[in-house]
Amino acid sequence: MDKPLDAFLEHAAEYAAMKTQAFGVKELQASTSPRQQARLLRILSQVTTKSDDLATVYDFAATALDAAEPALAANAVAALGMAPDADARVGKVFTDWLAASAPSDRRLRAFEQLGTTLAGGPRVAEALAVALSKQGPVRQVALKAIANSTGKLPDQQWRPALRGLLDTDVSPTLFEAITRVKHRSFDARINAIAADKARPAALRLRALLALSDAGSKLSPAAFDLLLELLADAGQAGPRIEAARRLAEAQLSDAQLDRFLPVLMQAGPIEQADFLRNQRKYTPEQGKRIAKAFAQSPQLGTLQPDEVRVAFAKWPRPVFEVMEPAFNAALAATEAKKSKLDALAQEAVRSGRPEAGAKLFAAGQGACLACHQVGEVGRAIGPNLSRIGAIRTERELIESILFPSNTLARDYELHAVVTADARNHVGLIKSRGPDGLVLMDAAGQLQTLPPTTVVSETQLETSLMPGGLDAAFTPTELADLVAWLRSLR
Ligand code: HEC
């Protein structure tokens, strides 16, 4: 029971041990080998039924949360997280840790993990409130736990500490936590931070997203900041987030006039996002929007169905404003399909991987807003670190030009309608008792409680926007693909 095993044997041995019930809490208490304890803990927390024995298992887990053996610590976290009285047990451990001197890194890790899963429970929430009032890493870990938690939170007791931090220790994590527990009482201070030009734009944006009414009306300062970020070609992440905020806001006529030309210069992600998330505009305003889209260089790369659905909100004449341009763009897309083979050959023949690597790293085409290669990039789409081992040049080109033709498994896009008649589009990250966790193109997670979900449809389209090739010259595209092919 304490020998190292490979993953397959490990699983088989555990399964056999569970089936035969060959081990009990006595073996766990008697064991002195951390690796054996890890295994026993995992097995016993799943098969033990007698409540006295289970209590013993959980008591043991509580002492092993900060074990030096990583498997033991991980299994202890998993076991306690599932306990029926997890809140009381973990709350007590946290309170003891916080009363002692500066917690070790191992404790901080367990604190963050269990704090995230159990933030909704009264005892753990209380411990988080204490942690918020401390300095340094303890406070950071509490902020992260709050930011990443899902479900309903007893946030009232955190408010004084969070409000204090807005005056003393502003950080992106602070705003992420406040975004989870939005409240009016934070807004005045947040608005002042967002308006402060001396601060980095990305931080000011995070601040705006934490406003309690993040949604409809925008102050003039907020609008200016968002427009500035949307026009910034260098920063894909903040640009996409800014586009989302602008799409969700109800803009005035004057704001629309300034916003639309900038949106048409941004990428297809931002434009598709606007079509999906925009608020109600009058048919007159719809015509302005249609006129702008008719001139968008990206028109042919937007999903035709999404464009039709978006414009179907208005009377037919609105769509007619852009119809000729829309049809021409569709025809151009057809023509591009026939060029796939030629582009693939170009990449094989003359693509320079080193040049392609630079394009990716520089954020061109926004690839790293969604893909990781090594340590770089965000994990919204598949990790591309070894993509060259499974895809040819032609497949890579096709993925970039027409992402929806070849959907990678587990990345199917879903549309979820909620009781308030809103349409949420994204990748389903998990399903749990708290509901469905959806991730959108900006990487934002949203939990939709089961009671509010009205319908759920899997779409035939990719979250990856088509037409990202427009951000590259043919030579650059060949370089990019040659580089992707070299990743094995
Ligand atoms: C908005 C997020 C987003 C952006 C930006 C994005 N992708 Fe993707 N990408 C995805 C998603 C999601 C998938 C998986 C679904 C699919 O196959 O279309 C994907 C799939 C792919 C695949 C296929 C992977 C496989 O396993 O077959 C490749 C290759 C790829 N992307 C390359 C790129 C490149 C190169 C860029 C930049 C020019 C880029 N992507 C930009 C989200 C994105």
User: Is residue 173 included in any domain, yes or no?
Assistant: no
Domain of 370, CATH number, reads: 1.10.760.10
Q: Looking at the structure, do residues 197 and 332 belong to the same domain, yes or no?
A: yes
Q: Is residue 463 lining ligand 1, measured as CB closer than 6 Å?
A: yes
Q: DSSP letter at 282?
A: -
Where does a domain end: 310, 337, 364?
Answer: 337
My answer on whether 401 and 417 are in the same domain is: no
Shared domain check, 298 and 389: no
Ligand 1 centroid distance, CA of 157 (Å): 42
Residue 366 lies in a domain: yes
Q: Is 95 exposed, middle or buried (0-12, 13-18, 19+ CB in 10 A)?
A: middle
Task: Give 17 Cα–ligand 1 centroid separation in angstroms.
Answer: 42
Atom of ligand 1 nearest to the CA of 269: 1
The reply to whether 446 and 470 lie within a common domain is no
- Which atom number of ligand 1 is nearest to the Cα of residue 236? 5
Same domain, 290 and 230: yes
Nearest alpha-carbon partner for 42 in 10, 76, 12? 76
Strand order in the sheet with 445-448: 445-448, 435-439, 423-432, 413-418, 453-458
Q: Is residue 310 situated within a structural domain? A: yes
Q: Give the distance (Å) from ligand 1 centre to CA of residue 370.
A: 7
Say yes or no: 275 and 200 in one domain. Answer: yes
pLDDT the model gives residue 227: 92
Looking at the structure, do residues 216 and 227 belong to the same domain, yes or no?
yes
Residue 240 confidence (pLDDT): 78
Final residue of a domain: which of 337, 356, 374? 337
In short, whether 244's Cβ falls inside 6 Å of ligand 1 is: no
DSSP element (H, E) containing 400: helix 393-401
Question: Do 332 and 359 belong together in one domain?
Answer: no
Please give the Cα distance from 119 to 122 (Å, whole number).
Answer: 8
Q: Residue 142 falls within a domain, yes or no?
A: no
Q: Distance, CA 196 to ligand 1 centroid (Å)?
A: 36
Residue 272 lies in a domain: yes
- Ligand 1, atom 41: nearest CA belongs to which residue? 367
pLDDT for 281 equals 92
Report if residue 187 sits inside a domain: no
Whether ligand 1 lies within 6 angstroms of the CB of 251 is answered as no
* Residue 259: inside a domain: yes
Residue type, 65: L
Q: Do both 482 and 361 map to the same domain?
A: yes
Q: Record the pTM.
A: 0.57
CATH number of the domain bearing residue 451: 2.30.30.100
| Number of compact structural domains in the chain | 3
Which numbered atom of ligand 1 lies nearest the CA of 406? Answer: 17
The tokens describing 184, both together, are 């009016």
Question: Quick one: 417 and 279 in the same domain?
Answer: no
Which of 284, 307, 337 marks a domain boundary?
337
Residue 220 inside a domain? The answer is yes
CA-proximal residue: ligand 1, atom 16 (nearest): 407
DSSP state of 325: H
| Tokens, residue 11 | 């699983």
- Burial of residue 350 (CB within 10 Å: 0-12, 13-18, 19+) is exposed
Burial string for 156-190 (b: 16+ CB within 10 Å, else e) reads eebbebbeebbeeebeebbbbbbbbbbbeebeebb
Nearest atom, ligand 1, residue 369 CA: 5
User: Which of 270, 401, 464 to mutate to test ligand 1, by most ligand atoms within 8 A of the CB atom?
Assistant: 464
Nearest atom, ligand 1, residue 367 CA: 37
**How many Å apart are CA 44 and CA 48, to the nearest integer?**
5
Q: How far is the CA of 404 from the centre of ligand 1 (A)?
A: 10
Mean pLDDT by 10 residues, the chain (488 residues): 66 67 81 91 86 91 93 93 92 93 90 92 94 92 91 86 92 90 90 85 83 71 87 74 85 94 87 84 95 90 86 93 93 85 93 95 87 88 92 92 78 78 79 83 81 76 78 93 96
Say whether both 225 and 330 belong to one domain: yes
DSSP string, 16-74: HHHHHT---HHHHHH---HHHHHHHHHHHHHH--SHHHHHHHHHHHHHHTT-SSHHHHH
Q: For residue 63, what are the CA distances in angstroms to 51, 67, 243? A: 19, 8, 47
Q: Could you list the residue range(s) of the whole structural domain that residue 209 is in?
A: 193-337
Q: Is 359 in the pocket of ligand 1 (CB under 6 A)?
A: no
What is the atom index within ligand 1 of the atom nearest the CA of 465? 1
The CA distance from 381 to 457, in Å, is: 19
Same domain, 332 and 357: no
